[in-house]
């Protein structure tokens, strides 16, 4: 049980949790690097995203680079993963997915020397009665595990290539709903303003949304104050999965940042961006999310709005105090001038 947990952690860590909660993030390659005997691999493309036809076989090539300092004897095999109700990734490094029956590898086992790139051919012979979409991982690990550590635990270096397949067949439905669009507060003293954009894939295929959150004074403003990306990682949402994407408006004069102290505790620190002095956020704002997904025929827009207030009361109070002091000083100065003038006139008379 300990070995299995360690291996799961190693696999998940090497892919950077790219696929947590059903959103598989795009990158040029996925890599694994740890202290399990200098195990270090890079694999591309990642993730592996395909659209296949039922009853046809399709082959793709994976590039496996050994960036470690020793020769690696490796093996590749499909493994299952799923997304639970808490939008968390549940990876199973033991269970073989059902679609493994129609997946073959050119070299199920292979050897890669340091600095060498090995080309692995993977063939997907999709059955005629295939479903609409499939998601699983291709796990590459050592044929033999590394020696045990001093603690007696055996570390297993692994790298997981997440594979997403849509099947091009009649009845395929691409449908994405905006379940919720909210800000974490309704009133802010200063930035950042954090937004949750919650999508649900109600179709039966894998979908990649894109879009922006526009910060505006009013709902119908032609020019936004700021534009924030939605799904900056260019990820995918699996069928039946609800995924919360996050955006943050932090382009302002006063911005709070979370910093970590030496003892490991976190606290909020306020920074002042003098370049944005003319852009102090104050008043009521509307955030409009405009997301787009392709339904197989056209791009479909999804729109949502949320309003919030920014009231920098400490800054306003400070300005008020300064204005009162300046006003009092000015009034004192004017009174002294008037008094001197009156006194001078009285002296002349």
Residue 289 and residue 181: Cα distance in Å, rounded?
8
Collapse the DSSP code of 63 into the 3-class scheme (helix H, G, I; strand E, B; otherwise coil) and give the result: strand
Q: Determine if the peptide bond prior to 192 is cis (ω within 30°).
A: yes
Check residue 270 and give its pLDDT. Answer: 79
Handedness of CA 224, 199, 169, 30 (dihedral sign): positive
Check residue 5 and give its pLDDT. Answer: 35
- Residue 332: C-alpha distances to residues 111, 323, 326 (Å): 88, 14, 10
Domain chopping of the chain, boundaries: 2-167, 176-311
Contact by Cβ (8 Å): 73, 116: no
pTM for this structure? 0.79
Contact by Cβ (8 Å): 281, 271: no
Per the structure block, which two tokens stand in for 297? 């025929």
Please list the pLDDT of the chain residue by residue as tens digits (349 residues). Answer: 334 333 333 333 333 334 434 445 444 456 665 555 578 999 999 999 999 999 999 999 999 999 999 999 999 999 999 888 888 888 888 889 999 999 999 999 999 999 999 999 999 999 999 999 999 999 999 998 766 555 545 456 789 999 999 999 999 999 999 999 999 999 999 999 999 999 999 999 999 999 999 999 988 898 999 999 999 999 999 999 999 999 999 988 888 878 777 777 887 787 888 887 778 899 999 999 999 999 999 999 999 999 999 999 888 888 888 888 888 888 888 888 877 777 666 666 5
Judge whether 2-167 and 176-311 match in fold: yes
Farthest-apart Cα atoms in the chain, separation: 115
Q: At the topology level of CATH, where does 2-167 sit?
A: Immunoglobulin-like (2.60.40)
Collapse the DSSP code of 153 into the 3-class scheme (helix H, G, I; strand E, B; otherwise coil) and give the result: coil
H-assigned helices in 107-256: none
H-assigned helices in the chain: 2-14, 313-348
Check residue 37 and give its pLDDT. Answer: 57
Check residue 55 and give its pLDDT. Answer: 97
- The structural architecture, per CATH, of the domain 176-311 is Sandwich (2.60)
């Amino acid at each position: 049980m300990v070995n299995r947990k360690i291996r799961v952690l190693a696999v998940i860590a090497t892919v950077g949790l790219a696929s947590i909660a059903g959103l598989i993030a795009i990158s040029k390659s996925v890599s694994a690097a740890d202290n399990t005997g200098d195990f270090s691999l890079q694999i591309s493309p990642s993730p592996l995203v395909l659209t296949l036809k039922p009853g046809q076989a399709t082959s793709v090539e994976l590039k496996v680079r050994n960036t470690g300092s020793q020769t690696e004897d490796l093996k590749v095999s499909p493994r299952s993963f799923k997304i639970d109700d808490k939008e968390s990734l549940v990876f199973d490094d033991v269970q073989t997915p059902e679609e493994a029956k129609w997946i073959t590898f050119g070299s199920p086992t292979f050897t890669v020397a340091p600095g060498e790139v090995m080309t692995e051919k993977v063939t997907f012979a999709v059955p005629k009665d295939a479903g609409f979409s499939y998601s699983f991982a291709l796990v590459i690990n050592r044929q033999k595990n590394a020696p045990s550590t001093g603690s007696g635990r055996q570390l297993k270096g692994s790298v997981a290539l997440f594979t997403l397949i849509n099947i091009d067949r009649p009845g395929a439905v691409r449908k994405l709903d905006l379940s919720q669009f909210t800000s974490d507060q309704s009133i802010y003293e200063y930035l950042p303003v954090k937004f949750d954009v919650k999508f649900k894939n109600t179709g039966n295929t894998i979908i990649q949304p894109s879009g922006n959150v526009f910060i505006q004074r009013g709902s119908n403003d032609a020019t936004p104050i700021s534009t924030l990306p939605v799904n900056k990682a260019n990820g995918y949402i699996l069928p039946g999965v609800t995924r919360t994407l996050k955006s943050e408006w932090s382009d302002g004069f006063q911005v709070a940042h979370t910093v970590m102290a030496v003892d490991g505790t976190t606290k909020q620190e306020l920074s002042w961006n003098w370049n944005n002095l003319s852009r102090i956020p104050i008043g009521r704002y509307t955030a409009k999310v405009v997301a787009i997904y392709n339904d197989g025929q056209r791009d479909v827009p999804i729109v949502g709005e949320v309003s919030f207030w920014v009231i920098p009361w400490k800054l306003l109070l400070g300005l008020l105090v300064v204005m009162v002091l300046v006003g009092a000083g000015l009034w004192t100065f004017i009174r002294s001038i008037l008094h001197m003038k009156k006194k001078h006139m009285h002296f002349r008379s």
